[in-house]
A and B are shown apart, each in its own frame.
Chain A
């Protein structure tokens, strides 16, 4: 398989996969269970999900390791299983992807705040990320995906953690924005401009946004990213904001709707398009079609 960054540099648009949580719920995840417990007990389920996204046409498939840092796992008393949880998740996706798709090691926020507004020391944060990312890289991921970040410092420490393990592994870094009357900001107050520039300075190879927004807001966010960085941009949109039907919340954007809007992302020059909360293989299949139809 050609190297990921070379393909992006050549102008190719790639498709990433969709949500993990909903797929796990459909396969028996209980309320209150961490998604990562599947990595210890049901690796077959992880393979099944990867297979679904691969056959939907994803070029990049994420590992089920969003919350697999020591700090996050400690909330479930699983902090001693960091290595195994990360390794198993990578092996499951790798087995399925088998050189047809890139294996992307997901790395989410720790859920803790840095000093001075929180209690975590910067060096501790770097170590926490380094430990997780080291396990992901050792198990053979092709790219690391630091995602759903809201604090630029935490994102920077994650990128640093990754760089301490490997200077060559491609690093994607995405942040999650809210729409305010003054523009898009993360809850920690990071603007898209600050994110684009800050993530690039920190050493990311690919930058962008995931989660928090439906695809229409994501088009506006992508526009800003393209204005402030020359790096390839990744957008992983939610299927809208959850709405209530009967007793259940669901995400309203259909595969067709997202695929139609994806054209605008492609025109903007976004390099990787995928899904986040509420997206399923059907969304990825539709995005695949949209990307392929723009190739001609």
Chain B
């Protein structure tokens, strides 16, 4: 259906008003909300993710597209039963304790939502215990942690250790990222994955949840 394609294109150009109008229009034509989500909004974000990965677009374009995506999702949300959008799984993410840098983490949240995950964003300066607590309580499958400072990286280890202590390692997977973080560091602290950028993080989380 052409309208779905139009939604995807309007989303890619960051046009919130147009996305909202098109979503309302297409819902009037009895198209299923899930199809609007998958073939309109998520399809558009997939293109954005791909272009971002290939350095064809940069952060401003992604942020604009994300705004349009959220606008569209807000229209769809009330239409799903039990208040729940169909998702690929729940991910808890945040910037670790002591670190207030959240641009990278926010970008991962955008890409995850854009791929169809349910994201609980704990924000920045998140204590290790909170990651674990919320993940358990909300039955998340993955914890994603970000750090920009070399000094705050050890807080990631603390989260992994807490999961191990409670016998949750393997059940709740962990992925880490951020400018100073490396795949070596992930292995060293026993995290399940390292995402070198936001798109790569989503690819890894897809692998961790299937």
Contact = CB atoms under 8 A, between A and B. Distances in A.
The judgment on whether A and B are partners is yes
Interface of A: 25, 31-32, 75, 111, 113, 116-118, 150-151, 180-182, 185-189, 242-244, 247-250
A48 B175 CA distance: 40
Contact of B188 (A111, A181, A186, A244): A244
A249 B58 contact: no
A247 B99 CA distance: 18
Contacts of B153: 249
B64 to A, nearest CB: 5
B89 to A, nearest CB: 28
B204 interface: no
Interface string B83-101: 0000000000000011111
Contact of A32 (B98, B154, B182): B98
Contact of A187 (B59, B99, B101, B154): B59
B152 to A, nearest CB: 6
B28 interface: no
Nearest to B60: A117
17 contacts: A25-B151, A32-B97, A32-B152, A75-B100, A111-B103, A116-B64, A117-B67, A118-B63, A150-B59, A186-B58, A188-B58, A242-B150, A242-B180, A244-B182, A244-B185, A244-B188, A249-B185
B184 interface: yes
A150 B179 CA distance: 15
B15 to A, nearest CB: 11
Interface string B41-74: 0000000000000010111110110010000000
Contact of B154 (A117, A118, A247): A247
By Cβ-Cβ distance, the 4 closest A-B pairs, closest first, are A189-B58, A31-B98, A249-B150, A32-B98
Contacts of A243: 182
Contacts of A118: 63
A37 to B, nearest CB: 13
Contact of A189 (B59, B99, B100, B182): B59
Nearest to A118: B63
A188 B57 CA distance: 9
Given A31-B98, A32-B152, A244-B182, 20 more contacts: A31-B155, A32-B97, A111-B100, A111-B101, A113-B60, A117-B59, A117-B60, A117-B63, A117-B67, A118-B63, A150-B59, A181-B55, A185-B55, A185-B58, A186-B58, A242-B180, A247-B154, A247-B157, A248-B150, A249-B153
A31 B150 contact: no
A25 B150 CA distance: 11
A31 B152 contact: yes
Contacts of B61: 117, 189
Contacts of A248: 150
Interface in B100-159: 100-101, 103, 125, 150-155, 157
A244 B176 CA distance: 15
A72 to B, nearest CB: 9
Contacts of B180: 242, 249
A74 to B, nearest CB: 11
Nearest to B107: A187
Contacts of A249: 150, 153, 180, 185
B150 A182 contact: no
A181 B53 CA distance: 11
Q: Among B64, B103, B184, B188, find the residue whose CB has the most chain A CB atoms closer than 10 A.
A: B103
Interface string B16-59: 00000000000000000000000000000000000000010111
B64 A244 contact: no
A275 to B, nearest CB: 16
Contacts of B150: 242, 248-250
Given A32-B97, A116-B64, A188 B59 contact: yes
Nearest to A76: B100
Contacts of B57: 189
Contacts of A182: 55
Nearest to A250: B150
A244 B189 CA distance: 11
A244 B185 CA distance: 7
Contacts of A117: 14, 59-61, 63-64, 67
B109 to A, nearest CB: 15
Interface in B152-195: 152-155, 157, 180, 182, 184-185, 188
Nearest to A112: B103
Contacts of B100: 75, 111
